[in-house]
Structure 1
Amino acid sequence: MTPSHRHAVRHHGSPEAPPLVLVHGFGCDQAMWHHVVPDLVRDFHVVTLDLAGAGESDPAMWDAERYGRLEGYVEDLVALLSELGLRDPVLVGHSVSAMIVAHVQVMAPELVGSLVMVGPSPRYVDDGEYVGGFSAEQIEELLASLSANYVAWSHAMAPVIAGNPGRPEVHGELAEAFCRMDPGVAEVFARTTFLSDARDVLPRVTAPTLVLQCSDDVIAPQVVGEYVARQVPDAELVLLRAAGHCPQLSDPEEIVSVLRERLLPGDPR
């Protein structure tokens, strides 16, 4: 089975357009992008995929040990990009996948044109002068709660992660995405996500990088986005009006507008 089949890859738009690869974050799948794809295909060849253990990815590929580290996902994405043979693709990584695409660019720079990091955090746990937004105790409590009852955790945490109080449709869509993931897979992926430390990778990223920072993001606060933008040598920080951690759900129009403006110089729209 090819990497494309293993990751349920879907191509949207003209293959002659600039390639844009959308990589979802923890607890989600490629459906997370469904609000933005219809507009993005006007200008890009959009590629969506499911990471191991998510969506329609091949269940046979899931391995708790392999995906107990970010490198498992990184190696998968390198293999997929090698197969696809896209020319200078833009990799868009949301949340933990912002660090996955950073690893990919460092491992195989010839396969990547540029990066877009949406709500990135290289480390969620505070460490000395570094502010990640959470204490070690808070992360362990979060992981224990998830392990005890994943469905209850999903419905309780979706409004916190998504932000946007008073918009139950956004909370509900994120909760539904969480609940589509197998609880055992989610537990492993959560530990990989919230206990990882990718700070050493950021200075080694050589591709132009857009850091998209949401407002009122409790998962990846602004201080973290600013840190990422300082550490990546060729990075630009863009502060979004979109609130919460999932702007592709809460304000898809802004995401499309920013990507079009920053990735298509001279575009009048």
Structure 2
Amino acid sequence: MKGIYHESFGSPEKPALVLLHGWGMSSAIWSSLLPALTQSFYVTVIDLPGLGRSQGSDDITLESMALQVAAVVEQPACWLGWSLGGMLAIQVAALFPEKVTGLISVASNPCFVQKEGWSSAMDAAVYRQFKAALAASPDKTLARFAMLQIQGGEAAKAILKQVKTVLDSSKPSHLMSTLALLDNDLRAALSQLSCPVLHIYGEVDGLVPVSTLSAVSAMNPQHQVVCFKGAGHLPFLSSPEAFLQTLQAFTQTFMQTQNKNG
């Protein structure tokens, strides 16, 4: 689709894996993982509409974003989304179940902002304050956001440098409108997904509380959940080997199941 940056790596003969990054970032966040991932997968990275190198609009919705990213992926694939990308992956799976063989959410929350009956999320007042700060001072707020992502995580200094590099190169065009997408509530959509689902959380994530793990597990006991000890909001960067092993184990399991059923 015109205006949506996407690029594929590896052999098209391998199982397809789509990577969706988080708010304020770009697909460059996956760069260090691509050499290992392409050994097992045909990887497609996408810059979310309004972020990175993709065009966007101020009236974008999570549903319209899902329509745009789904349009650039032709074959059924496992969709992996980090943070906001995890919410988007849920929306894609809900709208296009035939395109999603499996779903992996990383440091994500189906309901990112606290609502009645859902305390395992960011405080609504904190979210509003962040939006106000972003409108007033975007550069300063993005720098603070980078620090929040590595908060508590291991190997923080090296990861912070990588995150800042991605933020500096992303030049997102629609920060405010895409930030508003985090106020969506996808709990119902997530609970109804029929594809295999894996949720990965960081033990000391400063943006998605680890209590989300048990809350999500209660929604659908068939979903797999993993918590990376000592990891913050970027478990795929702080614990890359464990992350890749977890990804391999999960995808092999549901691929074998699909083969038996097929």
Q: Name the CA shift for 1:130/1:45 in 2 (closer, same or farther; >3 Å).
A: same
Aligned partner (choices 157, 169, 191) of residue 158 of structure 2: 169
Match of 1:123 in 2: 111
Provide Cα deviations, 1:97-124, integer angstroms capped at 9, x if missing partner. Answer: 1111111111111111010111121223
Match of 2:24 in 1: 27
- One-letter code of the match for 1:150? P
Q: Name the CA shift for 1:48/1:242 in 2 (closer, same or farther; >3 Å).
A: farther
Residue 234 of structure 1 aligns to a residue whose secondary structure is coil
1:248: Cα distance to partner?
Answer: 2.3
Asked if 1:77 is matched to 2:69, the reply is yes
Aligned length, in residue pairs = 253
In 1: Cα distance, 2:32 partner to 2:218 partner: 30
Match of 2:9 in 1: 12
In 1: Cα distance, 2:155 partner to 2:233 partner: 15
In 2: Cα distance, 1:41 partner to 1:223 partner: 32
Alignment RMSD: 2.0
- One-letter code of the match for 2:62? L
Asked if 1:243 is matched to 2:231, the reply is yes
Aligned partner (choices 21, 29, 46) of residue 49 of structure 1: 46
- One-letter code of the match for 1:100? L
Asked if 1:152 is matched to 2:140, the reply is yes
Report if aligned partners of 1:211, 1:237 keep a CA contact under 8 Å in 2: yes
Match of 2:260 in 1: none
Report if aligned partners of 1:53, 1:181 keep a CA contact under 8 Å in 2: no
Match of 2:58 in 1: 64
Asked if 1:209 is matched to 2:197, the reply is yes
Percentage of pairs with the same residue: 24
Residue 264 of structure 1 aligns to a residue whose secondary structure is helix
TM-score by length of 1: 0.87
In 1: Cα distance, 2:6 partner to 2:230 partner: 28
Q: Name the CA shift for 1:222/1:79 in 2 (closer, same or farther; >3 Å).
A: same
Provide Cα deviations, 1:62-96, integer angstroms capped at 9, x if missing partner. Answer: 2111x2x2112111122223xx2x1x410001111
Greater Cα offset, 226-235 or 244-253: 226-235
Unaligned runs of 5+ in 2: 255-262
Aligned partner (choices 92, 97, 104) of residue 104 of structure 1: 92
Residue 174 of structure 2 aligns to a residue whose secondary structure is helix
- One-letter code of the match for 1:191? A
Q: Name the CA shift for 1:102/1:133 in 2 (closer, same or farther; >3 Å).
A: closer
In 2: Cα distance, 1:229 partner to 1:180 partner: 36
Residue 91 of structure 1 aligns to a residue whose secondary structure is strand
Unaligned runs of 5+ in 1: none
In 1: Cα distance, 2:158 partner to 2:104 partner: 26
Residue 26 of structure 1 aligns to a residue whose secondary structure is coil
Report if aligned partners of 1:162, 1:244 keep a CA contact under 8 Å in 2: yes
Q: Name the CA shift for 1:118/1:191 in 2 (closer, same or farther; >3 Å).
A: same
In 1: Cα distance, 2:154 partner to 2:198 partner: 27
Provide Cα deviations, 1:30-71, integer angstroms capped at 9, x if missing partner. Answer: 1111111110111111111111122222x3xx2111x2x211
Asked if 1:219 is matched to 2:215, the reply is no
Match of 2:102 in 1: 114
